[in-house]
Amino acid sequence: MDPEYIVRTAGRYDCDQIEILLNATTSRVIGDKLEVPTAHLFQEYQTHRLIASLHNAALNILAYAEFCIYPNIPVLSNDLWVQWLRGRFCVDLPITLMNTIFLNFCVYHKEHDEILKLLLMEVFYREHKVNFLIIFRPPNFKPQEYEELNKYGRVYYPTDFDMYTRKNLPTIIVIKRLGLMPIISFRKALPEDNDDVVEMIDVDEPQMRIDRGDYYIAELLMGAGGKLDRDKIIVTEDSGESSGSTGMMWLSENIDIEQLIINYDLEGVGNLVSCTPDAPHNTVKLEVFSGEYHGLRSINTKALDFTNRRTVTLNPVEKYKLTEQERVYAIFRYISDELKSAGTYMNCVPQTLVLTFDVPHRRSSGKKAKQQGLETAGKAFTLQNFILHPSLRMEYTYYYLSAMFSAYPDCDFCVVPIPPGIKFSPSLWALLQFFTRVPHRPNSKMSEEIFVAHRSSVYTDLGVYRLESEDLPDILSMFPHYILHKTSSETLLPDINSNLVAFDEIRVANLLQQIVEDVLDNELSEFSVWIVRCGNEGRENSTAVGFVVLRSFSNYESIYKQFYLPYEENYLTFERGEIVMLRLHPYFHMWSDEILRTVAIRTGYRELFYFQKFTDFVLPNDLAFKMMPVEPRRMKRNWFIDTNDAKYFRRPSLKVALPVINCVKDNFYLFRHNLCPSKFIGNQSPLVIVGFSEICKALLRLMVFSWNTPDFKHVNTTNCLSYLDITVIVKYGEIEAEYDYDLECEYCTNPQSCYLNNCNSCPFVTDATQRLDLRNWIHFVPGKVEHIDCKEKVICLENNCKIHYEKLLLLCDTKYGLPGHLQAKVPKGKVCDVPYNYAHINGRLDKIVLYYKILELNECKLPSKTIIIYGYTMAIYECIDFLLKHGVQPENIIYVQPLKVQTPEYLNIPVKDKNLDDILIDMITDLGITVYESTNFEDFTVYQTVYFIKTVNFRKCPQNELLSLPCNLFINFLENYLTAPTEHMLIRSNIRVENREILVDENFCTNDPNIYAAGKNVAIIWKVFYQYTYTSEIEMAEKLIDILELTQETSKRETRFSKPVMFRALLPLGHKLLKLTAPKRYLLAKLDNSYSHVMTTYHNGDFCRVRLGTNKIVEEITCISQNLRKHLYFLEYFCGKHESLLNNLCSRYRIGLITNLIGYFEEPWTEYIMHDQFVEMQMKNQSILKSLFAKKEDLFMVLKMEEDEFERVCKHFVEENLLKFLRAHRHEFINKFALPEDWESKR
How confident is the model over 256-294, as pLDDT tens digits?
Answer: 888 999 999 988 888 888 777 777 778 888 888 888 787
Distance from C-alpha of 350 to C-alpha of 289, rounded to nearest angstrom: 4
Q: What is the largest CA-CA distance in the chain?
A: 117
1036-1047: average pLDDT: 93
Distance from C-alpha of 381 to C-alpha of 1124, rounded to nearest angstrom: 62
pLDDT digits 0-9 by tens, 118-140: 999 999 999 999 999 999 998 88
Single-letter amino acid, residue 441? R
**What is the Cα Rg of the chain in Å?**
34
1187-1216: average pLDDT: 83
Distance from C-alpha of 627 to C-alpha of 1023, rounded to nearest angstrom: 47
Break the chain into its structural domains and give their ranges: 5-180, 184-258+358-458, 461-675, 822-976, 1061-1161, 1177-1242
Residue 52: band (very low, low, confident or very high) from pLDDT cuts 50, 70, 90:
very high
| 148 CB-contact burial (10 Å; exposed 0-12 / middle 13-18 / buried 19+) | middle
Q: How many contiguous H segments (helices) and E segments (strands) does the chain have?
A: 33, 50
Give the model's pLDDT for residue 1. 54
Domain 184-258+358-458 has CATH 3.90.105.10: no
563-578: average pLDDT: 80
Distance from C-alpha of 785 to C-alpha of 1090, rounded to nearest angstrom: 44
Query: Domain 822-976 maps to which CATH number in 3.50.50.60, 2.40.30.10, 3.30.450.80, 3.40.190.150?
Result: 3.50.50.60
Q: CA angle at residue 77 from 74 to 81, to 5 degrees?
A: 100
Distance from C-alpha of 357 to C-alpha of 371, rounded to nearest angstrom: 11
Does the pLDDT of residue 744 top 90, yes or no? no
CA 619 and chain centroid, separation: 20
DSSP-assigned states of every residue in 960-1015: --EEEEE-SEEEEE-B-SS-HHHHHHHHHTT--EETTEEEE-TT-B-SSTTEEE-S
Give the model's pLDDT for residue 309. 56
Give the model's pLDDT for residue 493. 36
Task: Decide: 629 and 673 in contact? Cβ < 8 Å.
Answer: no
Pick the most confident of 320-329, 388-397, 940-949, 1072-1081: 1072-1081
First to last CA, the chain: 68
Mean pLDDT rounded to a whole number for the chain: 87
284: left (phi over 0), alpha (psi -120 to 50) or beta: beta
Q: Bridge-partner residues for 106, per DSSP?
A: 30, 65
Please, which residues have CB within 8 angstroms of residue 20's CB and are 6 or more apart in sequence?
A: 61
Provide the residue count of the chain: 1243
Distance from C-alpha of 174 to C-alpha of 113, rounded to nearest angstrom: 19
For residue 480, whether the previous peptide bond is cis, meaning omega lies within 30 degrees of 0, is: no
Single-letter amino acid, residue 835? P
Look up the CATH architecture of domain 1061-1161.
2-Layer Sandwich (3.30)
Give the model's pLDDT for residue 165. 65
560-565: average pLDDT: 94
Give the model's pLDDT for residue 246. 82
DSSP class of residue 110 equals G
Does the pLDDT of residue 498 top 60, yes or no? no
Task: Decide: 302 and 335 in contact? Cβ < 8 Å.
Answer: no
Residue 362: band (very low, low, confident or very high) from pLDDT cuts 50, 70, 90:
low
pLDDT digits 0-9 by tens, 987-1003: 999 999 999 999 999 99
Q: CA neighbours within 13 Å on the CB side: how many for 257?
A: 26
SS (H, E, C) 1151-1176: CCCCCCHHHHCCCHHHHHCCCCCHHH
Distance from C-alpha of 874 to C-alpha of 1119, rounded to nearest angstrom: 13
Does the pLDDT of residue 895 top 90, yes or no? yes
pLDDT digits 0-9 by tens, 617-668: 789 999 999 999 999 999 999 999 999 999 999 999 988 999 999 999 999 9
Q: Bridge-partner residues for 782, per DSSP?
A: 730
Please, which residues have CB within 8 angstroms of residue 803's CB and are 6 or more apart in sequence?
A: 688, 727, 729, 781, 794, 795, 797
Does the pLDDT of residue 368 top 70, yes or no? no
Residue 317: band (very low, low, confident or very high) from pLDDT cuts 50, 70, 90:
low
Domain covering 5-180, topology: Aminopeptidase (3.40.630)
Does the pLDDT of residue 241 top 70, yes or no? no
How, if at all, do strands 27-30 and 100-109 pair?
antiparallel
Instruction: Indicate the range of 304-313, 446-455, 622-631, 654-663 predicted with least confidence.
Output: 304-313
Single-letter amino acid, residue 1158? I
Give the model's pLDDT for residue 360. 65
DSSP-assigned states of every residue in 261-299: HHHB--GGGGGGB---TTS-EEEEEEEEEEEEE--PPPP
Task: Decide: 76 and 84 in contact? Cβ < 8 Å.
Answer: yes
Distance from C-alpha of 640 to C-alpha of 621, rounded to nearest angstrom: 34
Residue 685: band (very low, low, confident or very high) from pLDDT cuts 50, 70, 90:
confident
pLDDT digits 0-9 by tens, 1127-1178: 999 999 999 999 999 999 999 999 999 999 999 999 999 999 999 999 999 9
Single-letter amino acid, residue 935? T
163-174: average pLDDT: 81
Does the pLDDT of residue 369 top 60, yes or no? no
Task: Decide: 386 and 424 in contact? Cβ < 8 Å.
Answer: no
User: What CATH number should be reported for the domain whose range is 461-675?
Assistant: 3.40.630.30
Q: CA neighbours within 13 Å on the CB side: how many for 351?
A: 19
Does the pLDDT of residue 830 top 90, yes or no? no
Single-letter amino acid, residue 163? M
Phi and psi, residue 779, nearest 5°: -95, 110
DSSP-assigned states of every residue in 105-137: EEEEEGGGTTHHHHHHHHHHHH-TT--EEEEEE
Please, which residues have CB within 8 angstroms of residue 786's CB and are 6 or more apart in sequence?
A: 796, 797, 798, 985
Task: Decide: 502 and 578 in contact? Cβ < 8 Å.
Answer: no
Domains 184-258+358-458 and 461-675 share a fold: yes
SS (H, E, C) 320-361: CCCCHHHHHHHHHHHHHHHHCCHHHCEEEEEEEEEEEEECCC
Residue 313: band (very low, low, confident or very high) from pLDDT cuts 50, 70, 90:
low
pLDDT digits 0-9 by tens, 750-778: 888 899 999 999 999 999 999 999 999 99
Distance from C-alpha of 1080 to C-alpha of 1075, rounded to nearest angstrom: 16
Does the pLDDT of residue 718 top 90, yes or no? yes
Task: Decide: 679 and 638 in contact? Cβ < 8 Å.
Answer: no
Distance from C-alpha of 396 to C-alpha of 406, rounded to nearest angstrom: 16
Single-letter amino acid, residue 100? T
Does the pLDDT of residue 608 top 90, yes or no? yes
For residue 656, give the nearest of 527, 553, 523 by alpha carbon: 527
